[in-house]
Structure 1
Amino acid sequence: MRKWGISVLLFSMLLFILSPATGIASDQFHPGSLYNTFRQAADEFKVPSEILLAVSYVETRWQDHKGQPSQLNGYGLMHLADNPSNQSLKEASRLLGLPESTLKKNIKHNIRGGAAVLAELAKENNGGTIPQNLADWYVTVAEYSGLSSEIAAKWYADEVFKVINEGAQRVIDGKDIFILPTPVTPHKGKYENIEKSMDKQATPDYPGARWIPASSTNYTAANRESDGNSIDYVIIHTTEGSYSGTISWFQNPASNVSAHYVIRSSDGEITQMVQNKDIAWHAGNWNYNVHSIGIEHEGYVSDPAWYTDAMYRASANLTRWLCDRYGIPKNRNHIIAHSEVPGATHTDPGPHWDWNYYMSLINQSEEYVFDNTGPHMASDAWGTSSWNSQKYGSNYRFADPVLASDPFWYQITVPSAGNYDVYGWWPANSGYNSRAPVVIKTTSGYQTVYVNQQLNGGKWNYLGRFNLAQGTDYFIGVSRWTSSPGYVVADAFKLVKQ
């Protein structure tokens, strides 16, 4: 048996034995056919399942986007690509003897195609043999990205190994897909010192941003503000692809597109690619290009999981800084979606972008967070767990559903009466409740919002705007009163003053 080649049955047994007993049983992962497809492809092509799963997570968050390509013309969960610098789709077709059309839309064969390409690259990098140590896959992962920029390829591999080290999980089609945290220090080979040479060239406008210049053929050199062209707008985009892939694409002279900034989903890291004084080609409308700053956010319009709190906060800080620097009003008339640009054919950032929350961060609205560890009122039926990594803070509470009133009440101090946007945070799992009641005490009585705790874990979820009285009271409760199966979870809530 290989070091990392555990059968699905044995893996499930080890998961039950080794996971910490922290309230919710350690067998709460319920892997389905998608997870098993990754495991089978890993076994077939002798690729570590951690590599295969993490590459797919970084590329697509385990979504196939129904056969629609990314900005880099990559398809499926493994982002098999067909572009000038990445021919992984064609290579997978050759290795498997399957038509490209099948690999674009068939989930099983797309995963097998990604595994086959990874295995072939691994052999090329290791004298014809498959590496036996997880740490030795770094260079192969960087090359799998197919990115023409070496620094972008390095950042891509860094992200993959970060996911392996920290773990990841989602619920797809009602079943869990996940990577358990696996400590590994990768051997970076030729990519080890690339970043040091890049740092010497760093000249970002925004403090703290990385600087990687877009190709000079993808933007117009200018001297805005000094030349009479004012900067009046910030335009919000979604990359429809990965962070590193977008950076590489803007460096490609053939792309004819750029933005001033790109922001990573996982941690809000910012890379500037066009100086603020220059005109990036991002809006699809020349007049708006001339008078705006473009910010790209890693992710896909169709999947809200990419829009993390870290990304929102990093982007809001950047936008606030831009508004202060150039005198841009901090309102929705001047901070706009790509889809709102006259003549736009794009839909980004789409319906999952929380404009209320984003604008509240830009304008530094009062916000108050209440975790389950704070003052509360609950029966002994509510257990405590730290098992799920998507939790807010150190732990969360959980209980079985019952057709009776037994809520976990949060004692909250509302500093002044008025309207508040209410957000909830919970970890997600297929064994959690799909219709968990959240009860909110408003000035007009109790209101109940039902939330699906199998989805949208590890992020703030907007529950609505409510008028609350001033004072200290049990304003929010998570009720057990639901006929839906699965644990009801009480984690954290946020109030944002309007």
Structure 2
Amino acid sequence: MLFSGSIRASAAHPSENGSSEPVYHPGPLYEQFEQAAKEFHVPLTILLAVSYAETHWQDHHGKPSELNGYGLMHLADNPTNHSLPEASQLLGIPENQLKNDVKQNIRGGAAVLAQRAKELNQGKLPQDLAKWYTAVAAYSGLSSKLTAKWYADEVYDLINHGAYRLVDGKDMFIRPTRVIPDKGIYADVKAVQAASTPDYPYANWVAASSSNYTAANRVADGNSINYVIIHTTEGSYSGTISWFQNPQAQVSSHYVVRSSDGEITQMVQNKDIAWHAGNWDYNVHSIGIEHEGYVSDPSWFTDAMYRASASLTRWLCDKYGIPKDRSHIIGHNQVPGSTHTDPGSGWDWNYYMSLVNQSSSSTEIVVDNSNTSRVSVSGNWALSSWNSQKYGADYYYTTPQAVSEPVWFKFNVPSSGSYSVYAWWPADPGYNSNTPYIIRTSSGNQTVYANQQAGGGKWNYLGTFNLPAGDQYIVGVSRWTSGTGYVIADAVKLVKN
């Protein structure tokens, strides 16, 4: 990505009693969105949400997505989306500049959004935020009304719930705005009933173009399914589904998993050969699972995505007798001859495999702050339910102090051995970028530092440790830190390896 993603604590912190909104410190990037929104009379919230849905406000060094889309606004040039040349024409700016110049890319996206809105509203721009829905769906450039609707639904979900991340140490954010979109022509769009149904019972079914896979009957033909191959889409969920429907794509995968909630869509029947591995022998003997996101940006890999994908992989392994190990559940980068790097270094293989291998006898223990019999806390920590990314009903917070006063989480560890430790916290720019987590291991205390300004609303991997058996306090959240901002203690999880 073009931006460093470096972090710092905000100078001011939000109130934790719900009486005020967070205090943000936007930088030049946010200001460029403001300027483009004003210039083209596009609501700032719409412009920010479209960009976040497409790229999480990341530029990816000017490299194209799988749909040949560029920059923060994903200006594209493919068989169904020509927003890049259109923006070039609207602004009188060369396409190469739109690909690589962040400010001009944002302006180009705003210009195309405004153009779509005018085309759908008799030459006028909507005055109501709810009525921009159809323009957002059209901006997607997706080939079917269903995927365009999914795209617009995601944008409006972001508007309703908000979003936040740090880019180059400055705040990028969408303040939550309650709005019920006017879906217009998309209101009654539903998935078309088809002859095929998903093999996996918890998936949607949207068929890939028959030009993008090889029809077969693999198990009956003696071609065993030996691998599950993990991919990253390098683009959006709805965009990937739309691309696999396009006969010119010449690529497909059996399943696609959404980042925000783990929704799964199957596009190729398990018996058929999807074109996903770049190696024919591996295509013949594998199932491909695409995960929404980008290799360079692990913020897309949410807990909901990990859990949904792992449940799918576990089901596939059980169905086809695939060993649940890293020799048979592999990344695209592990396929012989592959030039791809997905799912990338940000993919948490330890966590993923622990989820794949869970069973009725496996150990996964969660202790939330609300479990008073398993949490030790002093009166200098306060309770809050202000941040919606919390685990459970509330969480503890306090200010940093050079004192040993942690919140301790107690676990009944059934047997000594190796455990992966995860922590859940709500994130905010006013929280601490250097929160100490103390783990009581078999060989003594170890401390891991976590950035609570990011990674909110999901399980964050702290590391793998040898833990002693017994019912005792295992993980503490300390307030002794050089960082500024509130220290949060919410929930902790152990997973037996």
TM-score (norm 1): 0.93
Measure how far apart 1:21 and its partner are.
5.3
Aligned equivalents of 2:228, 2:443: Cα separation in 1? 38
Aligned equivalents of 1:491, 1:172: Cα separation in 2? 25
- Which residue of structure 1 aligns with residue 94 of structure 2? 99
- Assess, with a 3 A threshold, how the Cα gap between structure 1 residues 138 and 58 changes in structure 2: closer, same or farther: same
Secondary structure of 1:480's counterpart equals: coil
* 1:372 aligns to 2:366 (yes or no): no
Residue-by-residue CA offset, 1:58-102 (whole Å, 9 max, x unaligned): 101111112111111111111011112111111112222222222
Measure how far apart 1:23 and its partner are.
6.5
**Please, which of 211, 215, 221 is the counterpart of residue 227 of structure 1?**
221
Amino acid at match of 1:410: F
Residue-by-residue CA offset, 1:442-497 (whole Å, 9 max, x unaligned): 11111111112223222222111112122222211111111222222212111001
Q: Say whether the 8 Å CA contact 2:15–2:22 is kept in structure 1.
A: no
Measure how far apart 1:30 and its partner are.
2.8
Measure how far apart 1:25 and its partner are.
5.9
Secondary structure of 1:422's counterpart equals: strand
Residue-by-residue CA offset, 1:392-444 (whole Å, 9 max, x unaligned): 22222222212221212222222222211101122222322222111111111
Question: Equivalent residues in 2 for 1:260-279 (5 A)?
Answer: 260-279=254-273
Measure how far apart 1:275 and its partner are.
0.6
- Assess, with a 3 A threshold, how the Cα gap between structure 1 residues 189 and 101 changes in structure 2: closer, same or farther: same
Q: Say whether the 8 Å CA contact 2:233–2:292 is kept in structure 1.
A: yes
- Assess, with a 3 A threshold, how the Cα gap between structure 1 residues 315 and 24 changes in structure 2: closer, same or farther: farther
- Assess, with a 3 A threshold, how the Cα gap between structure 1 residues 391 and 336 changes in structure 2: closer, same or farther: same
- Assess, with a 3 A threshold, how the Cα gap between structure 1 residues 24 and 439 changes in structure 2: closer, same or farther: farther
Amino acid at match of 2:294: Y
Structure 1, 442-451 or 275-284: larger mean CA deviation? 442-451
Question: Equivalent residues in 2 for 1:41-52 (5 A)?
Answer: 41-52=36-47
Aligned equivalents of 1:24, 1:414: Cα separation in 2? 40
Q: Say whether the 8 Å CA contact 1:368–1:496 is kept in structure 2.
A: yes
Structure 1, 485-494 or 239-248: larger mean CA deviation? 485-494
- Which residue of structure 1 aligns with residue 5 of structure 2? none
Secondary structure of 1:230's counterpart equals: coil
Measure how far apart 1:33 and its partner are.
2.6
* 1:254 aligns to 2:248 (yes or no): yes
- Which residue of structure 2 aligns with residue 329 of structure 1? 323
- Which residue of structure 2 aligns with residue 150 of structure 1? 145
TM-score (norm 2): 0.93
- Which residue of structure 2 aligns with residue 282 of structure 1? 276
Question: Equivalent residues in 2 for 1:405-424 (5 A)?
Answer: 405-424=404-423
For the aligned residue pairs, the C-alpha RMSD in angstroms reads: 1.8
Q: Say whether the 8 Å CA contact 1:257–1:280 is kept in structure 2.
A: yes
Residue-by-residue CA offset, 1:114-168 (whole Å, 9 max, x unaligned): 1111011101100010001111111111110011122211111111111112222
Aligned equivalents of 1:388, 1:68: Cα separation in 2? 35
Structure 1, 241-250 or 402-411: larger mean CA deviation? 402-411
The percent identity for this pair of structures is: 68
Q: Say whether the 8 Å CA contact 1:174–1:430 is kept in structure 2.
A: no
Aligned equivalents of 1:493, 1:78: Cα separation in 2? 37
Q: Say whether the 8 Å CA contact 1:23–1:383 is kept in structure 2.
A: no
- Which residue of structure 2 aligns with residue 451 of structure 1? 450
- Assess, with a 3 A threshold, how the Cα gap between structure 1 residues 373 and 30 changes in structure 2: closer, same or farther: farther
Measure how far apart 1:208 and its partner are.
2.3
Q: Say whether the 8 Å CA contact 1:22–1:384 is kept in structure 2.
A: no
Measure how far apart 1:381 and its partner are.
2.3
Measure how far apart 1:232 and its partner are.
0.8
Aligned equivalents of 1:107, 1:488: Cα separation in 2? 34
* Structure 1 spans left out of the alignment, 5+ residues: 1-15
Secondary structure of 2:190's counterpart equals: helix
- Which residue of structure 2 aligns with residue 350 of structure 1? 344
Aligned equivalents of 1:28, 1:185: Cα separation in 2? 26
Aligned equivalents of 1:118, 1:72: Cα separation in 2? 18
**Please, which of 194, 205, 210 is the counterpart of residue 199 of structure 2?**
205
* 1:442 aligns to 2:441 (yes or no): yes
Structure 1, 226-235 or 46-55: larger mean CA deviation? 46-55
Aligned equivalents of 1:389, 1:172: Cα separation in 2? 22
Structure 1, 291-300 or 353-362: larger mean CA deviation? 353-362
